[in-house]
Structure 1
Amino acid sequence: MKSLPYVIALVVVVLLVFVPWVASDVMMQFAIDALLLAVLAQAWNILGGFTGYVSFGNSVFYGLGTYGTAIAMAQYQLPFWVGLVLGVILAVVCALLIGFPILRLRGPYFAIATLGLSAAMGAIVSNMPIAGSNIGLVLPLVRADTMFYELSLGLLVVCTLTVAWISRSRFGMGLVAIREDEDAAGTMGVNTTTFKITALVLSAFFTALAGGIHAYWISFIDPASAFDPTLNVRMVIMAVFGGPGTVFGPLVGSFILSTIYEYLASSISTAAALLFGLVIVLAVIFMPRGLANMVGGVRAHGPRFFLQNIRENRL
């Protein structure tokens, strides 16, 4: 039974491969966006889900990935793959530079510290002529939704396989130990600094790749969109909704919430954000540990599971 989720995931991936053959142009654009958001949620899960360090700074790595790709392609006419590598290098270097000082903070102090990173980086980039300043950069236009879909799906598969490895490895056990009790983990011999930095770098790596793919896909970026802090909020919400610290929870959460938001935006327009927020509030009240935890909880306790969550969280 433990292998059943992986069998289901394999079947879903095989089905997703054939989507470009049957989907309309509008459906393809939604699918690419949903896949990239799932990558972001899964990448955030490596740090936030397994170590418990709730980061609101992952949009910095996303922005560096987009700008690394855009600068290489728009300013130096380099191939997309070169720009993608440049964006990843920028994100990883940034993760290493900010990781050592900022990961010394814990809990709300860490979250608050990461909250201002996107705004700071956006202000820096908006004053750099090579990055187009506030105007932004225009990338070469290419009509290849199938290519971007395949890149997004492939990246999501690789990111998920990495998370699956983490969940079964000694490294992953160390991250979970940090999440449960960091001081005790250090006492037991876990090099908490190295483990946290590694998790941050892995998270930055996949986030930057998603940013680079998105930049080439939309063919235009500016500081406001590249370093949008609300994007990081969506990563957190999707991962937490699905189940942080699990392999498939962030994926399920991101696909469900992306679909709900798209439906509400097309049907109710301006009220979409409000209703989307209401869905999140209800989810936090009735299943604060996500869908993955809810499945086991309902199986064990039935409808009482939701009442227990309300009592435990004093709601």
Structure 2
Amino acid sequence: MNSAIRIAIALLAVVVLAALPWFGSDVIVQFGISTLLLAVLAQGWNIIGGYTGYPSFGNSTFFGLGAYGVAVAMVQWNMPFWVGMVFGAAMAVCFAILLGLPVLRLKGHYFAIATLALAQVVAAIVSNIPLFGQNIGLVLPPLNNDAMFYELSLALLLMATLTVWWLTRSRFGFGLIAIRENEEGAAVMGVNTTLYKVMAFALSGLFSSLAGGIQAYWITFLDPASAFDISLNVKMIIMAVFGGPGTVLGPIVGAVVLSAVSEVLSSEVTNAAGLFFGIVVVAAVVLMPRGLADIVHHFRKSGWRYFVQNIRAHRI
């Protein structure tokens, strides 16, 4: 399939998705907003986790900072929504840069553990600041316009996806991949690994914060527990890994598939939904540890042996 056909298919998909609010039900539109925002988070994590190879558990912190940026601007300062988006994004990027300089010196599970505590620390700080509403939280002015939130979420996902696509063709992206494969070798080849990692962390935090800002205005209520929920970080990682980390469309596919599975299980199986959802995720990790994107490249050649080879290669 040549590039022209791929671009045409992508544009057609964007047009269909953009038109969804005009022919879809309210339930479908609300599901679409939630799924698109999760896809943005998965795509943002993909920059630092999939391309740079640093498994961050701190992206929910950036999500919370973006959400509080919008809430503080609109509730406490009576400023418009877009000012809050800029304020939240600025807080997240500055925090990512200041934090990234020391934390990104760690590697592997040490880095994961260090970022895991970030959300709880920031939540504790926010809960003691009157400007942020402390533990009570903030109530944003309601806006009954799901179509607008849907289009904003879709536009943000397009922006994040185009950024990841640019990474696959830019010197900066090649540097991140080199760091993921062999950081010491990348440094020897002249890659400023510290600068590249911090920039990737900040870029990942930027998209997470923008998604948090849209979510806050859509839900209209914010408190530290919901803004800095660590389970949200787990979701974005699972979706990115399920779809295929280090790929352009993998995180989006993972977010859509797992969101749909979760929604069906929640409505049909109710109490056992969490159990079945967990089984689906575990099975996916065992049978296709490189995600759905890897199946497209290898399943045609090896068939069902692809899954057998994965079980043997990644057995516990």
Once the 2 structures are TM-superposed, how far is the Cα of residue 9 of structure 1 from its aligned partner? 2.6
Matched to 1:63, the amino acid is G
Q: Which residue number corresponds to residue 188 of structure 2?
A: 187
Q: How does 1:166-181 map to 2 (within 5 A)?
A: 166-181=167-182
Counterpart for residue 298 of structure 1: 299
Residue equivalent to 1:133: 134
Give 1:113 deviation, angstroms. Answer: 0.6
State the one-letter code of the partner of 1:167: T
Structure 2 equivalent of residue 226 of structure 1 = 227
- Matched with 1:76 is 77
Matches within 5 A, 1:218-257: 218-257=219-258
1:29 and 2:40 aligned: no
Partner of 1:259: 260
Aligned pair count reads: 315
In structure 2, distance between residues paired with 1:143 and 1:60: 27
| Code of the aligned partner of 2:190 | G
**Is 1:115 the equivalent of 2:116?**
yes
Provide Cα deviations, 1:221-254, integer angstroms capped at 9, x if missing partner. Answer: 1000000000000000000000000000000010
Q: Look up the equivalent residue of 2:103 and give its one-letter code.
A: I
Tell me the equivalent position of 2:125.
Answer: 124
1:213 has 2:186 as partner = no
Q: Counterpart of 1:56?
A: 57
- Whole-Å separation in 2 of the counterparts to 1:274 and 1:22: 34
Secondary structure of the 1:195 match is helix
Residue 43 (structure 1) aligns with: 44
- By how many angstroms is 1:89 displaced? 0.5
Distance (Å, rounded) in 2 between the aligned partners of 1:312 and 1:146:
46
C-alpha offsets along residues 75-94 of structure 1, whole Å, 9 cap, x if unaligned?
A: 11110011111000100110
Q: Aligned AA for 2:54?
A: Y
Which residue of structure 2 lines up, in the alignment, with residue 99 of structure 1? 100
Superposed CA RMSD in Å reads 1.0
- For 1:79 and 1:149, how far apart are their aligned partners in 2? 19
Distance 1:123 1:5, change over 3 A: farther
Give, in whole Å, the separation in 2 of the partners of 1:285 and 1:5: 31
Question: 2:240 is aligned with what amino acid?
Answer: A
Deviation at residue 7 of structure 1 after TM alignment: 3.8
For 1:271 and 1:56, the matched residues in 2 are separated by 27
Using the size of structure 2 for normalisation, the TM-score is 0.98
Residue 148, structure 1, aligned to residue 149, structure 2: yes
CA distance in 1, matches of 2:2, 2:87: 39
State how far apart, in whole Å, the 1-side matches of 2:51 and 2:211 are: 21
In the alignment, is residue 10 of structure 1 matched against residue 16 of structure 2? no
Q: How far off its partner does 1:10 sit?
A: 2.2
The separation in 2 between residues aligned to 1:311 and 1:290, in whole angstroms, is 16
Counterpart of 2:199 in structure 1 is 198
Give matches, 1:81-92, under 5 Å: 81-92=82-93
Taking a change above 3 Å as real, the CA distance of residues 164 and 105 of structure 1, as seen in their structure-2 partners, is same
Query: Which residue in the other structure is 1:287 paired with?
Result: 288
Gaps of 5+ in 1: none
Q: Determine the structure 1 residue equivalent to 2:274.
A: 273
Letter in 1 for 2:14: V
- Deviation of the 1:23 alpha carbon: 1.2
State the shift of 1:5 in Å: 4.6
Residue 313 of structure 1, CA deviation:
0.8
Structure 1 position 314, deviation (Å): 2.2
- Equivalent AA in structure 1 for residue 292 of structure 2: L
Q: In the aligned structure 2, how far is the partner of 1:301 from the partner of 1:173? A: 29
What CA deviation, in whole Å up to 9, does each residue of 1:4-36 have, x standing for no partner? 554433221111011011111111111100000
1-structure distance, mates of 2:206, 2:96: 9
Whole-Å separation in 2 of the counterparts to 1:185 and 1:22: 50
Identify if the C-alpha distance between structure 1 residues 150 and 223 changes in structure 2 by more than 3 Å, giving closer, same or farther: same
User: Separation in 2 of the partners of 1:10 and 1:283?
Assistant: 30
Letter in 1 for 2:123: G
Q: Identity of paired residues, percent?
A: 61
Aligned mates of 1:308, 1:168 — CA distance in 2? 31
Compute the TM-score of the two structures, normalised by the length of structure 1.
Answer: 0.98
